[in-house]
Amino acid sequence: MTVKTLKIDGKDVAIERGATILQAAKEASIPIPTLCFLEGVTPAAACRMCLVEVEGSSKLLPACVTEVAEGMVVQTNTPKLQEFRRMNVELLFAEGNHVCSICVANGNCELQDMAITVGMDHSRFPYRFPDRHVDVSHEQFGIDHNRCILCTRCVRVCDEIEGAHVWDVAQRGEHCFIVSGLHQPWGEVDACTACGKCVDACPTGAIFRKGNTTGEKERDRAKLAFLVTAREKHQWTR
């Protein structure tokens, strides 16, 4: 196994070839904020929270998909990155309709946590108040597009872990939204096995269990990573 050595925030790190900067940082106990990244499924680099500065690159690079290289020098927490991350979270809030006080995920939401982490206390951008809908046609679950941050975690867990591929992203740019089936009501999509993995995966209150009210959403995130390791390593207990 070839090992690559690099410097993250001045710390020397050695890690196998093919690993990402995010993995290397984790190894070295250097936290990098992430939102769309989910252990166990392919990274999508959709949220841009994990952007880092790499010496010699004029662009900021997403740590979750950028492979380490020999001699790389990475900065994860410069004032520029801090400012950028905060702005990014503000944009996520301004883009959708996030009314935390009545949200099922209130108090248990990765977007909320992220806002606190980056020190966001208000949005400098005007809220867009987009006209989005709620689909509660499914027997057990619902999706409220107002709270969706388009991280595509649901798309990936459903496709890669459950193998049902219920979800996709429709449209482009600001009109993007998550669709079930070929844009059918979720309750009419036969492929859905009602396994609930997307509920566990969704970082916000966008996908929820029906009947849950304010702040009642619970998720078993560890289950997803467990399922992946269980299949790969044949360890079926946790």
Matching residue, tokens 């994990």: 50
Which of 30, 142 has the CB closer to ligand SF4?
A: 142
Tell me: does residue 187 bind other proteins (CB under 8 A).
yes
Cβ atoms of residues 61 and 25 within 8 Å: no
Integer Cα distance of 77 and 81 in angstroms: 6
Question: Distance between alpha carbon 131 and the CA centroid of its chain, in Å?
Answer: 23
Tell me: does residue 112 bind ligand SF4 (CB under 6 A).
yes
Residue span 21-50 as binding mask against ligand SF4, x where in contact by CB under 6 A, dash where not: ------------------------------
| Total number of residues that touch ligand FES (CB under 6 A) | 12
Residue span 93-122 as binding mask against other proteins, x where in contact by CB under 8 A, dash where not: --------xx--------------------
H or E stretch including 54?
Answer: strand 51-54
Output the six-digit token pair for 141.
Answer: 């679950």
Matching residue, tokens 């979720």: 186
Quick one: what does residue 184 bind among ligand SF4, other proteins, ligand FES, none, with the CB cut-off 5 to 8 Å set by partner type? Answer: none
Cβ atoms of residues 176 and 169 within 8 Å: yes
Quick one: what does residue 207 bind among ligand FES, ligand SF4, other proteins, none, with the CB cut-off 5 to 8 Å set by partner type? Answer: ligand SF4
Which of 129, 236 has the CB closer to other proteins?
A: 129
Quick one: what does residue 45 bind among ligand SF4, ligand FES, other proteins, none, with the CB cut-off 5 to 8 Å set by partner type? Answer: ligand FES
Integer Cα distance of 9 and 31 in angstroms: 11
Tell me: does residue 210 bind other proteins (CB under 8 A).
yes
Cβ atoms of residues 119 and 83 within 8 Å: no
Region of 14-22, 45-53, 129-137, 191-199 interacting with other proteins (CB under 8 A): 129-137
As to burial, measured by CB atoms within 10 angstroms (0-12 exposed, 13-18 middle, 19+ buried), residue 99 is: exposed
Which of 59, 172 has the CB closer to other proteins?
A: 172
Cβ atoms of residues 219 and 225 within 8 Å: no
- Count of positions (residues) in the chain: 238
Which of 122, 233 has the CB closer to ligand SF4?
A: 122
Region of 21-29, 48-56, 131-139, 144-152 interacting with ligand SF4 (CB under 6 A): 144-152
Cβ atoms of residues 26 and 43 within 8 Å: no
Tell me: does residue 183 bind other proteins (CB under 8 A).
no
Output the six-digit token pair for 164.
Answer: 């049902």
Quick one: what does residue 212 bind among other proteins, ligand SF4, ligand FES, none, with the CB cut-off 5 to 8 Å set by partner type? Answer: other proteins
Catalog residues that contact ligand FES under the rule CB under 6 A.
Answer: 34-37, 45-50, 62, 64
